[in-house]
Chains A and B, each alone.
Chain A
Amino acid sequence: MSGGVDSSVAAALLQQQGYEVIGMMLRLWSEPGRAASNRCCTPAAMNVARRVAGQLGIPFYAVNAQERFHDVVVKYFLDGYASGQTPNPCLACNRQIRWEFLLDRALALGADYMATGHYVRLTRAPGEPVRLFEAVDTHKDQSYVLHVLNQEKLRHALFPLGEYTKPQVRQIASDLKLPAADSKESQDLCFLAGQDYREFLGRHKPELAQPGPIVNTHGEMRGEHAGLVNYTIGQRKGLGIAAAEPLYVLGKDFANGALVVGTKKELGSSELIAEKVSWLAGPAPKVPFSAEVKIRYSAKKAPAKVTPLDGEGAKVEFEQPLRDITPGQAAVFYVNGEVLGGGLIASEPFSVQKAEIFSSEAVPVA
């Protein structure tokens, strides 16, 4: 429970369905001195969660995971960025904090299930794997981050909100007079405490805020960038380069501190390789299949052919090129609204050229 409307309503719904409910709240890491402005698990949010638990008459435990969250999630975010990825820390949190560290504690309490306020749906049938589906409310759907679950975890998972829309959930909270915190709908990372992620990264990994060269795919210097952290793949505005045709950010070469730009024609790619792929049903499919693939939390699903590869990999070939394939984000595979699996985007669309660019000594490197 977070004190927010979703987990509060989830707890109330489960209680109505006859479950014996225990509330647990994760205390996650925040930067020293910023705990009060974190987006989640602030002391104020915890007080609200306690009031909800009190109103429902259920036990409530705060589970401290600050140090572990820092080691597993924040470090993953910082190190991933520093090594040239754009990691999604929510994936690490769901895999190792929420659905491992917290789940273990819930199970130790003798719980049969752990429920969260995530908007996703599950189906269960005897002798069948548990299947994960998008939420009824597609705007709120959170199946992208929950593709990290496996059968062992799904067997213990309940998602009471998957069949509801957010307005319905708000209505339930209001009908039950639940004192849910009026949290802002935000996709900011919970530990940023209101800061821009670029500021956070720049402070913890100063090298990412260092200016460096902007180069094109031929290795020609086109200008200077203000720190790689300030750019996203597919970005056009704010490059400060006068060019005959608009230039886009194609990628980042972290090893050389260079920002790689190119024309619209060069932007994007029709394929990607996903690594560390997990398949929710267990074993990897044996044959390629048609799917819709989501390449970041807020992206639209794009039609593609998915080919499972040896060694927990998958090749994804899109029908249309995508502009913002970003290494470190997850590619998640959907068929008819069901999550079949997903993995981390590894391949860089411009990797072949890059190897050529930086073999040339003519290119100035920061």
Chain B
Amino acid sequence: MPVSKPIYLDYAATTPLDARVLAAMQPYFSEDPSSPLSGSLGTSFGNPSSVHGFGQRAEAALEEARQKMSSLLNAQPEEIIFTSGGSESDNLALRGAALAAREQRGATHLLISPVEHDAVSKTAGQLAAHFGFTLETLPVDEFGMVPPQEVAKRLREDTALVSIILGNNEIGTINPISEIAAICRTRGIPLHSDAVQSGAYLHLDVQKLGVNLLSIGAHKFYGPKGVGALYVRNGTKLLPTQTGGGHEFGLRAGTPNVAYIAGMAKAFELAQSELNQRTSKLINLRDKIIDSVLVTIPDSKLTGHRHLRLANHASFVFNNVDGNALLMLLDDAGFACSSGSACKTGDPEPSEVLLALGFARDWALGSLRVTLGIQTTDEEIDSFLSALPQLVERARNLELA
């Protein structure tokens, strides 16, 4: 039974909205004529496409956000497409680039890693199953990292797109995207990377990363849910997947969600500018968790890379433990964790990511992801680490599903 306030250790699932972000969003929901801000530039509920002043002020805010996002990403404003979130960004990147590459140069080969988020792997799977593409899966090492030379070996003349996750949501491992991008660039093949988990923990400089396409989602870095962005390098062709009005350079139809976009830009600005101070604290706590768990819990293993991993991310497998039962016990004891993705329906199947790393089923079923955030304290981690061993033991005594 929870003794005190529940402790949130699932920041990879989502983060709470930063108060400064909420304040940045507020001017774009309605117009209060009595407000001193009313009528000022960038303060309006208006539709950015409208001709009148209401629309002009909303559009100014939208373009201000685009400018901010592009400068933080070291990109050009016209390279930023606003979407409804990370999953939509992934979908637009994969579908858009694959269909355009086929149209342009008859390319039908897709190359992805086996540790992609479902938004990438299921989209690629559908392109293969229903749209005539061939899907090839890259190998990963025991840490879930794609060796760059494996990409080099598999690139083909007709490769439409390569997609490799940056910081992994389940296992935290960070892929060597810059090296992979260099290989893809020499062969003229576009590279997409899902950076949805990385926005708060890695400096996302698209020039250093070298990618053609990069997905991010605001709610992973203390922004609102339901908004994200796709970076599309100039010259990378996309076929729009959501058609309608000519919004977002004709790549994503639909009235832009100005308030949320303004919120994302503010959140991303805070995340990137405060990144170093935030992550150095997180890395200490993360390493404390990893060191403690591996020592205090028998039959436990770290998943993902020990050091080349997201600053806030610790993930484990426990042999012969029902991971879902463990989450239930943890929640009841006041600790909100996850098994790897934010799935809450009690999915019985072991994660494909963990199986791809070579874990046997009786290990992969017992996964635990502990992800930290700016509110996480030392005391919270101490309390978690002292409770975990006996909860794992209790879950271990339950028959597996």
- A→B interface (CB under 8 Å): 20, 22, 27, 43, 46, 59, 61-68, 101, 104-105, 108-110
Q: Are A59 and B346 in contact (CB under 8 A)?
A: no
- Cβ of B399 under 8 Å from chain A: yes
Q: Are A63 and B324 in contact (CB under 8 A)?
A: yes
Q: Are B398 and A64 in contact (CB under 8 A)?
A: no
Q: Are A62 and B398 in contact (CB under 8 A)?
A: no
Residues of A contacting B328 in the complex (Cβ-Cβ under 8 angstroms): 61, 63, 105, 109
Complex alpha-carbon distance, A307 and B309, angstroms:
69
Partner of A109, one of B329, B346, B401: B329
**Count of CB-CB pairs between chains A and B under 8 Å:** 49
Report the minimum CB–CB distance from B71 to chain A (whole Å).
42
- B→A interface (CB under 8 Å): 1, 324-325, 328-329, 331-332, 344-348, 394-395, 397-399, 401
Complex alpha-carbon distance, A36 and B228, angstroms:
31
| Residue of B whose beta carbon sits closest to that of A64 | B346
Residues of B contacting A63 in the complex (Cβ-Cβ under 8 angstroms): 324-325, 328, 346, 401
Report the minimum CB–CB distance from B343 to chain A (whole Å).
10
Residues of A contacting B398 in the complex (Cβ-Cβ under 8 angstroms): 104-105, 108
Of the A-B pairs whose beta carbons lie under 8 Å apart in the complex, a sample of 22, sorted by A's number, is A20-B1, A46-B345, A61-B328, A62-B344, A62-B345, A63-B325, A63-B328, A63-B401, A64-B324, A64-B347, A66-B348, A67-B401, A68-B401, A101-B401, A104-B398, A105-B325, A105-B328, A105-B398, A108-B325, A108-B329, A108-B397, A109-B328
| Residue of B whose beta carbon sits closest to that of A43 | B345
Report the minimum CB–CB distance from A67 to chain B (whole Å).
5
Most chain B Cβ neighbours within 10 Å, of A62, A68, A108: A108
Q: Are B401 and A65 in contact (CB under 8 A)?
A: yes
Q: Are B346 and A62 in contact (CB under 8 A)?
A: yes
Complex alpha-carbon distance, A110 and B1, angstroms:
7
| Residue of B whose beta carbon sits closest to that of A61 | B328
Report the minimum CB–CB distance from B57 to chain A (whole Å).
38
Closest 5 CB pairs of A and B: A64-B346, A62-B346, A64-B348, A61-B328, A109-B332
Residues of B contacting A20 in the complex (Cβ-Cβ under 8 angstroms): 1
Complex alpha-carbon distance, A66 and B324, angstroms:
13
Complex alpha-carbon distance, A64 and B398, angstroms:
13
Q: Are B331 and A59 in contact (CB under 8 A)?
A: yes
Interface of B is mostly: loop
Contacts A67-B401, A104-B399 known; 13 new A-B pairs at CB < 8 A: A59-B331, A61-B346, A62-B344, A63-B325, A63-B328, A63-B346, A64-B324, A65-B401, A68-B401, A108-B325, A108-B394, A110-B1, A110-B332
Complex alpha-carbon distance, A64 and B399, angstroms:
12
Complex alpha-carbon distance, A67 and B324, angstroms:
14
Report the minimum CB–CB distance from A361 to chain B (whole Å).
50
Residues of A contacting B325 in the complex (Cβ-Cβ under 8 angstroms): 63, 105, 108
Most chain A Cβ neighbours within 10 Å, of B1, B328, B344, B399: B328
Complex alpha-carbon distance, A110 and B329, angstroms:
9
Residues of A contacting B331 in the complex (Cβ-Cβ under 8 angstroms): 59, 61
Residues of A contacting B324 in the complex (Cβ-Cβ under 8 angstroms): 63-64
Q: Are A59 and B332 in contact (CB under 8 A)?
A: yes
Report the minimum CB–CB distance from B178 to chain A (whole Å).
40
Report the minimum CB–CB distance from B129 to chain A (whole Å).
16
Q: Are A64 and B329 in contact (CB under 8 A)?
A: no
Complex alpha-carbon distance, A43 and B347, angstroms:
12
Complex alpha-carbon distance, A288 and B302, angstroms:
62
Q: Are B332 and A22 in contact (CB under 8 A)?
A: yes
| Residue of A whose beta carbon sits closest to that of B391 | A108
Complex alpha-carbon distance, A108 and B394, angstroms:
7
Residues of B contacting A46 in the complex (Cβ-Cβ under 8 angstroms): 345
Residues of A contacting B401 in the complex (Cβ-Cβ under 8 angstroms): 63-68, 101
Contacts A101-B399, A105-B328 hold; do A27 and B346 have CB atoms under 8 A apart? yes
Contacts A22-B332, A65-B401, A68-B401 hold; do A108 and B395 have CB atoms under 8 A apart? yes
Complex alpha-carbon distance, A20 and B324, angstroms:
22
Residues of B contacting A64 in the complex (Cβ-Cβ under 8 angstroms): 324, 345-348, 401
Complex alpha-carbon distance, A65 and B325, angstroms:
11
Residues of B contacting A101 in the complex (Cβ-Cβ under 8 angstroms): 399, 401
| Residue of B whose beta carbon sits closest to that of A106 | B328
Most chain B Cβ neighbours within 10 Å, of A22, A27, A64, A110: A64
Complex alpha-carbon distance, A104 and B395, angstroms:
10
Complex alpha-carbon distance, A104 and B329, angstroms:
12
Report the minimum CB–CB distance from B342 to chain A (whole Å).
14
Residues of A contacting B344 in the complex (Cβ-Cβ under 8 angstroms): 62
Report the minimum CB–CB distance from A359 to chain B (whole Å).
46
Q: Are B348 and A67 in contact (CB under 8 A)?
A: yes
Complex alpha-carbon distance, A155 and B329, angstroms:
22
Residues of B contacting A65 in the complex (Cβ-Cβ under 8 angstroms): 401
Complex alpha-carbon distance, A61 and B344, angstroms:
8
Complex alpha-carbon distance, A68 and B332, angstroms:
24
Residues of A contacting B394 in the complex (Cβ-Cβ under 8 angstroms): 108
Residues of B contacting A109 in the complex (Cβ-Cβ under 8 angstroms): 328-329, 332
Report the minimum CB–CB distance from A298 to chain B (whole Å).
32
Residues of B contacting A67 in the complex (Cβ-Cβ under 8 angstroms): 348, 401
Report the minimum CB–CB distance from B50 to chain A (whole Å).
38
Residues of B contacting A62 in the complex (Cβ-Cβ under 8 angstroms): 344-346
Complex alpha-carbon distance, A66 and B345, angstroms:
12
| Residue of B whose beta carbon sits closest to that of A63 | B346
Residues of A contacting B346 in the complex (Cβ-Cβ under 8 angstroms): 27, 61-64
| Residue of B whose beta carbon sits closest to that of A66 | B348
Residues of B contacting A27 in the complex (Cβ-Cβ under 8 angstroms): 345-346
Report the minimum CB–CB distance from B398 to chain A (whole Å).
5
Complex alpha-carbon distance, A105 and B401, angstroms:
11
Residues of A contacting B397 in the complex (Cβ-Cβ under 8 angstroms): 108
